[in-house]
Structure 1
């Protein structure tokens, strides 16, 4: 399966747009540590001597070797992880089943980096993102995913041994006859051989818990669950009937555009691109128009031009092919740059969700992910915000659209990812109010 997938996505892989930024595991020592951790977690081992891993330690090559792409994520829940190095924190999470998983792993590594750096210098750290759900047999299980706890230790049990040693040191110091207990002293010496001097170099990973109120999951066709907003709702890309018994008043599928628009508006989750602070709204909308144009041209076997000028010429020549999304966004750009009548674009219009972005709130990434699915012709937002959907749709695109997408993302996005994200999604903090001098009856008050 991995080889077949790699062949289909070859252009993306060669351009660094897929399986990019993974951590290379090639030294015999690291491979041996990985195998110890893999055996500890799954009872299996790899015969590979060279492979790449993501932030969780998952390797697509090992998944292919074992015939199990979920070998660290059984049933798509309670993801296990293997850390060989804190450098994994910048790697992506491949085939994520929950939108929160990567951010949880990144936070775990960031918050415990000194301890993890010391632990991974000698051994692999193996662990699990634990919740009370062990399978996704029914949609009702989604509503039990409220809290994620991280459990981790080295494969040699360094943290467990350190806790035991700390307990025995406490016993030794509290007893008057501690110096005469040869068995206790021998046990302490044995444990210290495993852990080192924990009085000078403490080894500990605090218990970490993460609330999971609003999230996306790949289960049941792709599902967005908003539980902690003022007006909760579930939005599914799959079969809405699966959620007839959901403990929520509102369940929508992606075809219910008016209802989704109202949900987003009621909860103040989105804002119009036009008028958003700190961005070049007209440039963003003009680029969206280009993506929509390319989609229309490629659908009619017309090869898109190599640059924006060539695309404009093609748009004029094939104006009859331009869809309503293109015309609606063009009217917005015209209004922004030249004024005139405000173009009203209702929520049932196919261009509506192209005109929005997430507002400034903690779930902005999740909302931008939903908007990417509702406006999938915007290939840049789709790639940035919803990679799994981008890869799935890419596989069915005409060759000309694949070529355009790879060329654009490589030249526009890959060169400066952070700047692109800032230009599209950043929220500018309003400037503080001007401080005016306090004025008394005879002029400004001196402090």
Structure 2
């Protein structure tokens, strides 16, 4: 009755998902603000952040050194930005026409589609934003995050690979970048399968084919390249 199992950081599938991060003197809880007890339980010890408050989530993760901020040294080698841009673009193609066979299209088809659907691409904003950031990092070697809108910042970062909370942090980032279904499959299986249920039949076929040809082909190499992770995780 006195045995205690301490978790330094964890995710719990309660109230739609709750993230708990422990630091030396404080505990930070990130979840839906409608959760019972939000900002009322031990406010002198626990900091509460809404899952929709991208600004505060970013500030918390950055200030506690849980994020790897944009630098050309890792961004260009990882291919993460292009990966997320491709995911966002193909999600838009499916949104515009759920019957499109995404496994049968090529780069030329996509460029033509972008020109024909420029209003939709511009309104969503993710693809052109990431293309701009790819050019910025190539030209200057870094990105001034203070100039980036809070809701776009998580497209540009990954968990600090040397931080013990790297898996939980990457899970949170994946949830905040829903169009990147590959990252969601790697770090947030529950969120991935919930989203998968809503996909069109053609998009499901594309998702399965993409996961099979990328992550599932060599999990360790894929995680090392995209996310900088050097060690395996038995739950992955």
TM-score interval, smaller chain: 0.7 to 0.9
Structure 1: runs of 5 or more not aligned: 1-129, 133-146, 149-210, 429-447
Q: Is the 8 A contact 2:159 2:166 kept in 1?
A: yes
Larger fraction in helix = 2
* Matching of residues 284-299 of structure 1 within 5 Å: 284-299=80-95
Distance in 1 between residues matched to 2:222 and 2:2, nearest whole Å: 35
Q: Is the 8 A contact 2:71 2:141 kept in 1?
A: no
**1:404 counterpart = 2:206:** yes
Aligned-partner SS, 1:233: strand
Displacement after TM superposition at 1:349 (Å): 4.2
Distance 1:305 1:319 in 2: 22
Q: Is the 8 A contact 1:291 1:379 kept in 2?
A: yes
Change (3 A) 1:299 1:277: closer
**Displacement of 1:219:** 1.4
Match of 2:178 among 352, 367, 376: 376
Give the distance between the partners of 1:386 and 1:278, measured in 2 at CA.
Answer: 22
Verify: 1:315 aligned to 2:114, yes or no: yes
Alignment pair present for 1:260 and 2:54 = no
Deviation, structure 1 residue 361: 0.7
Counterparts of 2:95 and 2:66, CA distance in 1? 33
Distance 1:231 1:311 in 2: 48
Aligned residues: 222
In structure 1, C-alpha distance between the alignment counterparts of 2:128 and 2:2, rounded to whole Å? 48
| Larger relative contact order (CA 8 Å, sep ≥ 6) | 2
Tell me, yes or no, if the aligned pair for 2:71 and 2:142 is still in contact at 8 Å.
no
Bigger mean CA offset, 232-241 vs 314-323: 232-241
Which one has the largest radius of gyration? 1
Matches within 5 A, 1:23-172: 147-148=4-5
Q: Offset of 1:401 from its aligned partner? A: 2.1
Whole-angstrom distance in 1 between the partners of 2:157 and 2:185: 17
Q: 8 Å contact 2:9–2:20 — kept in the other structure?
A: yes
Residue deviations 1:298-322 (CA, integer Å, cap 9, x gap) = 1122523635513333223322211
Matches of 2:179 and 2:57, distance apart in 1: 19
Q: How does 1:417-436 map to 2 (within 5 A)?
A: 417-426=219-228
Paired with 2:64 and 2:211, the residues of 1 have a C-alpha distance of 32
User: What does residue range 160-309 of structure 1 map to in structure 2 within 5 Å?
Assistant: 211-228=6-23, 232-237=27-32, 239-247=34-42, 248-275=45-72, 277=74, 280-281=77-78, 283-301=79-97, 303=100, 304=102, 306-309=104-107
* CA-atom RMSD in angstroms: 2.8
C-alpha separation in 2, matches of 1:374 and 1:274: 21
In the other structure, the counterpart of 1:181 is: none
Q: TM-score, length-normalised on structure 1?
A: 0.45
CA contact (8 A) 1:269 1:361 kept: yes
User: Residues 230 and 264 (structure 1 numbering): CA distance in 2 closer, same or farther, change over 3 Å?
Assistant: farther
